[in-house]
Chains A and B, each alone.
Chain A
């Protein structure tokens, strides 16, 4: 009787900090135990439903399915008692019988979240007046409401659900809970209710009990010993096999009747997620058109406009092919929706451009969504949409990062809050986060947690696994505290690993929007996001893709903001109007600049790795730039294609093809596979893959994380290897392709995406080449963005001969501007107030208004009389040394500013202290703290001249711009300020550091052995002094470090470090903050 059990109450770990098992584990176990059905009902949401659906789908596709059916529901709190132990919270489980019921459930869940993400609840009074058709309800054998068997709500709920209201009856081998069985049976008898047997599952097997307890400790923010009342008494809330179920439940009176009820309920549950009908909005379609015909109309108009009424035959054929496919797959309204948004943005002068696989579409090009002209490139539309795959297309559009919010609010306004919502992003416990959470639960004190955090953040231990981090922590801790209390290091480690990947809370996707033609409640619940003015659905990008829903990615790109600003500046300062379309193609001076790797600040090809590649690749045309953008990625790097490609391009190696059949695919890339599309085509040509399988391969490598990598991708890779072997492909090439596939799983570019990015990269290079001053201020005025800090950008500008003018109380604006003393002279950059730490834009507006009225200020007192600023704003100005031009040194101005408010101060000026003049390095250091950079002498030069602390004579050190003259393979000494540190996963433990001195950059490379020896210095020193072997290929260089020098004398020779240490509570100031690139 129990062999085909129906389980009705089951929480996944998407019942955040309650359920202690992944959806996959629950589905797999229920399936393997031969259950007939499993009903997922997470607390207050549908968070885990789509994951469970995907898991069951996986089992079905891989012939592992044993008949398990999934039922869908949710457990809703009846009041905001979430802080109580789970056993005392009053809840009600609602299960969907059909689609109507599912819609009603989503409506109730959305209402439950009316006040925010936390404490979602559905008051009984609201529920009793709600539409619950298609739903049935179960009262769990938990909560305080259950204890009152005479309560009237039983009768009310029975009436509301038209008799479909049941009591849950669970047995967990605990006498206290066993007593509830009696109460439940009495309640059932009293109110003539049926009861159903359920295990009330919170984890899939008993071993997960400790995770369940851990989650409670995290949820209540206490250590284990202090939150035992939140734990389940034992580990019985798991999925049991049939024989155990028999033993547990056959002692319950009327169990046969209850099992029969479960069977029939399961039969009545006719809803599955694949029944959800989904359509895109259609309001942009004018009368007289349907979606397809209107799309056709817009495409025709776009063709005429883009190709000046002479469209090439190839394009017309391609467009026709695409339109047929779009019609067959019924995707026209999706294209129209994206077109509508992009058109609106263009009308608002917001720069935007489609990226990713959408750039493979000619339709997208003529609609103005993407900028990749299909006439110039051989694009693969099937990479974007394919008949065989039938998957929804995914169009990602980049907008200016400073104006993306306008686009988002337009979408809400146009489609309504009930039909538009952002996609969720599930924030999970990972690495340091899970170690920290477990450490806290085990009672580790703040100091120990900070120490752990420091170790885990160290580049040396990053990605090295929980075990290594905990062991390093243990060694440090036991060395420092030999008498300290014993800590369960092993448990810390084990639990952190078990917690890894558990959902922590729901975030918001960076730009994914879901739109529908009907209220989203028909599809899934929504809740208000923590960011004001936004609502979010409860599923992630992967979930909605798996269910075939469309989403549009409204992404932000800092470079688009910078380019738009640059166009405006060029118009204003140089009286020249430029646009993305009017930038000339193939500008040779731009390519000459790129070849010299003068690309600080430009898009994509600015990183250290890209810059070292440029002199070797020497891009001379746009497609070279496309290759450059795509080749420095983990995919091609792991596929070991960079050196063969360079050799072929430079004529050092003949262009050959591993197989004749691959020539058309690899011709443009000299016989080397660089792009995702090529890997797909190779799989079809010589791997015995169908187009559908190749797409499946692409999808897997593109969208699955490392956790799923082995399960999902490996079978396909095995098939590919076998196929290539059968097709007599050279083993070396097969190995290379397989390596590349694994690399793509981390990060690889489709060609269309590389082309899209290259367009922006080229535009930014052109602007930098021809209007460098305008380019630099546009980048600086769009911060934060890009790879380099404002300091690095300004230093680069200075080296390129642009004069920099300091921030000035009487001349600067909020933004950086260009100034010149006469029309004959070149523009100089006047730094803006935006660099000043702690100064708000509103304050600057006030200052500028007053400045106009006062016609500038000649003294501090004059300034404060006019501008009544808050003390922190005034001190921020003083700390930036802005009152020097008004006659007060930084120290004097700070001393005066701290005495704000000013009126009494002006009456009795307190200048009793005779402040010492600042030393050179001290002054630079203060500049950095106050406004992120310094226009004084480069700190490296000052240290070399005045405060050299290293054991090697300063004369031995070379400067960066002399590297070109020095012989390769010789040892050289280098000293500089640390700009960027990188240790890409594909570099096999190598660490790359960029140093800056007064003349340029040093590129340092550390082998794992050298890094492990000196990592404490490399990770923590703002300046590095090294010796290493100079390596050079063409004009690019790097230094393979052999040794890092520590200070010879006391560290106080570098005040920058000493002061950071001595001021404990001050946020530590880093000179340069490296940023991740797009």
Chain B
């Protein structure tokens, strides 16, 4: 039953000019939480709460300028950011906004609702118990996260179950039929938290009063733009300019020690106004701040990209009458992914890898064009799982050392193919049986092909390979001995 579409003029849903304090906004695709206010809380997947009174005067000013209603002020903005499928409820209590939003989502409602409008208030009164209880599922998690005093999930659940049994026994179809009950009556019967929720839900002008508001930190992605005064195509010049840009970028971070970059986008405009986007990515989180003043690591990665780019452009445009290397006329460097790493984390690593200066290795890897890794044997008798690729220096003693099969990994080669290669007719001067093994038969439909015999095959040149034979007699090469 969708009252909003069937019965009443939709405009009524957006009537009302009282400035709301909170908004709950849901968008099935994705949602940026900071569209209407810098103060937000993440409630669930793609569902955010905003506290609007932090920028109340800004909005009221805008409203005054545009001479429109509040709904007309917010709706185009929300449509712009979220598209057509959003549901937003504006009201004076976050819990009421959430409840009504649940109601609208479950009734396929879309758009903006001002809860304090008369019509929405009336609809709000019809919401049923299921809606009321369902909305509480996420609440419990937030109460735990907010360390709400005296809240225990298990006793809350049992109180909920008791209240559900009560309303089933008594046959009350909606909370509205019980609105005469005050929060104290509910508290007395079903505990403090259900009493509070009752108060948040149905008592006019109730404050937050224990509602678990957890403020979401805002993210800003730094970026810099450079317009060149003259076209440049020599790396020596580009390097100098990029170094300056990285320094500017560095300034945009406000917690230098914590903020690390995973990925940057370098958008270059060529001499012929062609735009090329290339990515500067780092194997480990990279701190511009720690790389001051030379920014060697970032510049190494930029140089590899530059070399690649020039090579590709030459290959593409070699027959055209162009300068030896296509000059750049402007670019933009934008951080795409960043990660906040607390300094304590680095200290922890430093202690653990006292002997080998782990940071230096990571920094070195960030500078290299290729990965720098090693392998470790693993506690599994499944060949596919008997090795793990790990960063250099992270080898640890095997946690499953006491399991008998872990030692069998020692017989396996250090280089193995991700996908075993079939061998048509294995010709070997020597064939040494190594072991009989299971594979992960439950991943295939045919459970009976679960046994493999592993051999070392030596060819005429003395090269040894690690191969297996299935139960059906087919041979596959799994690895090579060095």
Chain A residue at smallest Cβ distance from B167: A1063
B450: A residues at CB distance < 8 A: 209-210, 235
Contacts of A1064 in B (CB 8 A): 130
Which one of A85, A206, A494, A905 contacts B403 once the chains associate, using CB atoms below 8 Å?
A85
Give A229's nearest chain B residue, CB to CB.
Answer: B403
CB of B129 closer than 8 Å to a CB of A = yes
Q: How far is the CA of A930 from the CA of B172 in the complex (A)?
A: 16
* B407, A179: Cβ atoms closer than 8 Å: yes
A898 to chain B: which residues have CB within 8 Å? 162, 166, 189-190
Interchain CB contact (< 8 A) of A491 among B185, B400, B411, B447: B447
- Check: B445 CB closer than 8 A to any chain A CB: yes
**B437 sits at the interface (CB 8 A):** yes
Give min CB distance, A407 to chain B, whole Å. 39
User: Which chain A positions have C-beta within 8 A of B181?
Assistant: 910, 912-913
* Cβ-neighbour of B177 out of A231, A890, A916 (below 8 A): A916
Contact with A along B167-187 (1 / 0, CB 8 A): 011111000011011100100
Cβ–Cβ contact B408 & A913, under 8 A = no
Whether a CB of chain A sits under 8 angstroms from the CB of B350 is no
Name B434's closest neighbour in chain A (CB-CB): A175
B53 within 8 Å of A (CB atoms): no
B436–A894 touching, CB < 8 Å? no
Query: Do A209 and B407 touch across chains, with their CB atoms under 8 A apart?
Result: no
Contact B403 A488 (CB under 8 A): no
A912-928 vs B: 1/0 string, CB under 8 Å?
A: 11111010001001100
Closest to A926 in B: B171
Whether A235 and B451, one on each chain, are in contact in the complex, defined by CB atoms closer than 8 angstroms, is yes
Given A176-B405, A236-B436, A913-B180: A879 and B447 interface contact (C-beta under 8 Å):
no
Whether B185 pairs with A1066 at a CB distance below 8 angstroms is: no
B45 lies within 8 A of chain A by Cβ: no
Query: Is B403's CB under 8 angstroms from A491's CB?
Result: no
CB atoms of A229 and B400 under 8 A apart: yes
With A and B bound together, what is the CA distance between A1036 and B164 in angstroms? 45
Q: Which residues of A have CB within 8 Å of B10?
A: none
- The 8 A CB mask of A926-954 against B (1 = contact, 0 = none) is 10011000000000000000000000000
A250 CB to nearest chain B CB (Å) = 15
Q: Is A685 an interface residue (CB 8 A)?
A: no
**A-side contacts of B164, CB under 8 Å:** 1063, 1065-1066
Interface residues of B in 310-349 (CB under 8 A from A): none
Flag if A174 contacts B381 (CB, 8 Å).
yes
Q: How far is the CB of B9 from chain A (nearest CB, A)?
A: 26
A1017 contacts the other chain (Cβ, under 8 Å)?
no
> Residue A929 contacts which of B166, B168, B178, B444 (CB distance < 8 angstroms)?
B168
Whether the Cβ atoms of B436 and A879 lie closer than 8 Å is no
With a cutoff of 8 Å between Cβ atoms, the chain A residues found around residue B438 in the complex are 209, 213, 231-235
Asked if A1062 CB lies within 8 Å of chain B CBs, one says yes
- Are B180 and A899 touching (Cβ within 8 A)? no
- Contact between A174 and B435 (Cβ–Cβ < 8 Å)? yes
User: Assuming the A-B contacts A229-B379, A894-B170, A899-B189, are A234 and B436 also in contact, with contact meaning beta carbons closer than 8 angstroms in the complex?
Assistant: yes
| A429-459 to B contact mask, C-beta < 8 Å, 1/0 | 0000000000001100000000000000000
The answer to whether A1066 and B435 have CB atoms under 8 Å apart is no
Residues of A within 8 A of B381 (CB): 174, 176, 228, 231, 233-234
B448 is an interface residue with CB less than 8 A from chain A: yes
Tell me, rounded to whole Å, the shortest Cβ–Cβ distance linking A51 to chain B: 26
Out of B177, B404, B408, B445, which one reaches A490, CB within 8 Å?
A: B445
Q: Does B380 contact A (CB under 8 A)?
A: yes
Which of B185, B190, B406 is packed against the most chain A CB atoms within 10 Å?
A: B185
Q: Is the CB of B169 within 8 A of A174?
A: no
Q: Which residues of A contact B434 (CB under 8 A)?
A: 175
Check if B445 sits within 8 Å of A488, measured CB to CB: yes
- In angstroms, how far is the closest chain A Cβ from the Cβ of B184? 8
Among A175, A490, A905, A916, point to the contact of B435 (Cβ < 8 A): A175
Q: Are B171 and A228 in contact (CB under 8 A)?
A: no
Q: Are A210 and B404 CB-contacts (below 8 A) given A172-B436, A174-B435, A1066-B164?
A: no
Q: Given that A442-B442, A898-B166, A899-B188 are known contacts, is A234 also in contact with B404, CB under 8 Å in the complex?
A: no
- A180 interface hit (Cβ, 8 Å): yes
- Asked if residues B404 and A177 are in contact (CB atoms below 8 Å), the reply is yes
User: A144 interface residue, CB < 8 Å from B?
Assistant: yes
Contact of A913 among B178, B379, B447 (CB under 8 A): B178
Judged by a CB distance under 8 angstroms, whether A973 is at the interface is no
From B161, B169, B442, B451, contact of A894 by CB (8 A): B169
Q: How far is the CB of A222 from chain B (nearest CB, A)?
A: 12
Partner of B182, one of A87, A912, A929: A912
Question: Given that A224-B440, A228-B382, A234-B451 are contacting pairs, would A176 and B404 also be in contact in the complex, using a CB cutoff of 8 Å?
Answer: yes
Q: Which A residues are in CB contact (< 8 Å) with B160?
A: 1065
Q: Shortest beta-carbon distance, B454 to chain A, in Å?
A: 9
A599: Cβ under 8 A from any B Cβ: no
Q: Mark contacts of A219-230 with chain B using CB atoms, 8 A cut-off: 1 yes-contact digit, 0 otherwise.
A: 000001100110
On whether the beta carbons of A173 and B435 are closer than 8 Å, the reply is: yes
- For A495, list chain B residues within 8 Å (CB): 447
Q: How far is the CA of A235 from the CA of B161 in the complex (A)?
A: 49
With a cutoff of 8 Å between Cβ atoms, the chain B residues found around residue A929 in the complex are 168-169
Contact of B406 among A176, A177, A918 (CB under 8 A): A176
- Contact string against B for A residues 765-809, beta-carbon threshold 8 Å, 1 for contact and 0 otherwise: 000000000000000000000000000000000000000000000
Contacts of B180 in A (CB 8 A): 912-914
Contact with A along B441-469 (1 / 0, CB 8 A): 11111011011010000000000000000
For residue A866, which residues in chain B have a CB less than 8 angstroms away from its CB? none
A442 to B435, CA, bound (A): 27
The reply to whether the CB of B217 lies closer than 8 angstroms to some CB of chain A is: no
Given known contacts A491-B442, A895-B170, is B185 in contact with A910 (CB within 8 Å)? yes
The interface residues of chain A lying within 8 Å CB-to-CB of B400 are 229
B64 at the interface (CB under 8 A from A): no
Q: How far is the CB of A1067 from chain B (nearest CB, A)?
A: 10
Complex: how many Å from CA A490 to CA B129?
42
- Cα-based distance from A88 to B181 in the complex (angstroms): 62
Given A174-B437, A231-B438, A233-B437, A1062:B130 Cβ within 8 A: yes
Any B CB within 8 A of the CB of A875: yes
Name the residue of chain B whose CB is nearest to the CB of A915: B170
Query: With a CB–CB cut-off of 8 A, which chain A residues contact B406?
Result: 176
Minimum CB–CB distance for A534 against chain B, Å: 33
A403 → chain B closest CB, angstroms: 35
Instruction: Kindly state the separation between the CA atoms of A875 and B166 in the bound complex, as whole angstroms.
Output: 8
Q: Who on chain B is nearest to A878 by CB?
A: B169
What residues of chain A lie closer than 8 Å to B437, measured between beta carbons?
Answer: 174, 233-234
- For the complex, give the distance between the alpha carbons of A177 and B122 in Å: 74
* A497 smallest CB distance to B (angstroms): 12
Please tell me if the beta carbons of A491 and B445 are within 8 angstroms of each other in the complex: yes
B6 at the A interface (CB under 8 A) = no
For residue B275, CB closer than 8 A to chain A, the reply is no
| Smallest CB gap from A890: residue in B | B170
Q: Which residues of A contact B178 (CB under 8 A)?
A: 913
Q: Looking at the assembled complex, report how far the CB atom of B3 sits from the nearest CB atom of chain A, in whole angstroms.
A: 15
Contact partners of B161 in chain A: CB under 8 A: 1065
Within the complex, the shortest CB–CB distance from A682 to chain B, in Å, comes to: 47
Q: Which residue of B lies closest to A173 (CB)?
A: B436
Q: Once the chains bind, are B168 and A1063 in contact (CB under 8 Å)?
A: yes
Structural contact, B168 and A1066, CB atoms closer than 8 A = yes
Residues on the A chain within 8 Å of B403, using CB: 85, 87-88, 229
Per CB-CB distance, the 9 closest pairs between chain A and chain B, nearest first, are A173-B436, A176-B408, A898-B189, A233-B381, A234-B436, A224-B442, A879-B169, A210-B447, A913-B180
26 contacts between A and B (CB under 8 A): A87-B404, A173-B453, A174-B405, A175-B407, A175-B434, A176-B404, A206-B451, A210-B450, A213-B441, A225-B440, A231-B381, A231-B438, A233-B408, A235-B438, A894-B166, A894-B170, A899-B188, A905-B188, A910-B181, A913-B180, A926-B171, A929-B169, A1055-B171, A1059-B168, A1063-B164, A1065-B164
Apart from the given pairs A235-B438, A1062-B129, 11 other A-B contacts in the complex at a CB distance below 8 Å: A173-B435, A173-B436, A174-B437, A175-B434, A224-B440, A229-B403, A234-B437, A441-B442, A491-B442, A1063-B164, A1065-B160
